[in-house]
């Protein structure tokens, strides 16, 4: 029995750990970090009622929001790797991936979504400071959480 059937009020999770790997070798801590960031971003978007309302008026539903969160989180993997390798001094939260995913979205809504994305990033990285998993410093290590059914909704 799935968790959503056990509790009918529980929202089905759209973002899945499987969205962040395609083989056993890709079940790394860095990919887990990206999965967690996608969830954090989705939560921040859903908490911003004005933003949610604006997105719904643009016909951007929960499934499209989840797709965007996955897309943006996967993009951030490259940003993290660039910073770790010294190619860039800091990770950059940019608007380009928002415009790529939502090409018809207006500038004001892109800016609002970018602000929420930056807040979600800050929240995620702040939590990492206290987390013993060390997803960034042990980025290439295997993440056993990918096999924990708790995260599969």
16 part of a folded domain: no
For the cut 50, the answer to whether the pLDDT of residue 5 exceeds it is: no
Mean pLDDT value across residues 54-73: 97
CB 98 within 8 A of CB 117: yes
111 part of a folded domain: yes
132 part of a folded domain: yes
For the cut 70, the answer to whether the pLDDT of residue 11 exceeds it is: no
78 part of a folded domain: yes
Mean pLDDT value across residues 18-35: 97
Residues spanned by the domain of 126 = 23-138
46 part of a folded domain: yes
CA-wise closest residue to 28 among 129, 123, 133: 133
Give how many domains the chain has, as a whole number: 1
149 part of a folded domain: no
For the cut 60, the answer to whether the pLDDT of residue 151 exceeds it is: yes
The vertex-4 CA angle with 28 and 47, nearest 5°, equals: 75
The tokens of 19 are what? 């969205």
Give the other-Cβ count within 10 Å of 125's Cβ.
15
12 part of a folded domain: no
């Amino acid at each position: 029995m799935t968790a959503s059937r056990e509790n009918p009020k529980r929202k089905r999770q759209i973002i899945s750990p499987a969205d962040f790997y395609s083989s056993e070798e890709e079940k790394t801590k860095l990919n887990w970090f990206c999965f967690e960031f996608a969830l954090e971003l989705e939560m921040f978007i859903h908490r911003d009622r004005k933003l949610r309302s604006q997105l719904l008026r643009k016909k951007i539903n929960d499934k499209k929001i989840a797709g965007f969160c996955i897309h943006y989180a996967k993009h951030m993997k490259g940003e993290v790797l660039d910073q770790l390798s010294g190619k860039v001094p800091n990770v950059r939260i940019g608007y380009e991936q928002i415009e790529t995913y939502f090409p018809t979205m207006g500038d004001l809504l892109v800016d609002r979504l970018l602000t929420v994305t930056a807040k979600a990033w800050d929240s995620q990285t702040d939590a990492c400071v206290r987390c013993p998993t060390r997803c960034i410093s042990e980025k290439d290590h295997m993440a056993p959480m990918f096999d924990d059914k708790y995260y599969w909704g």
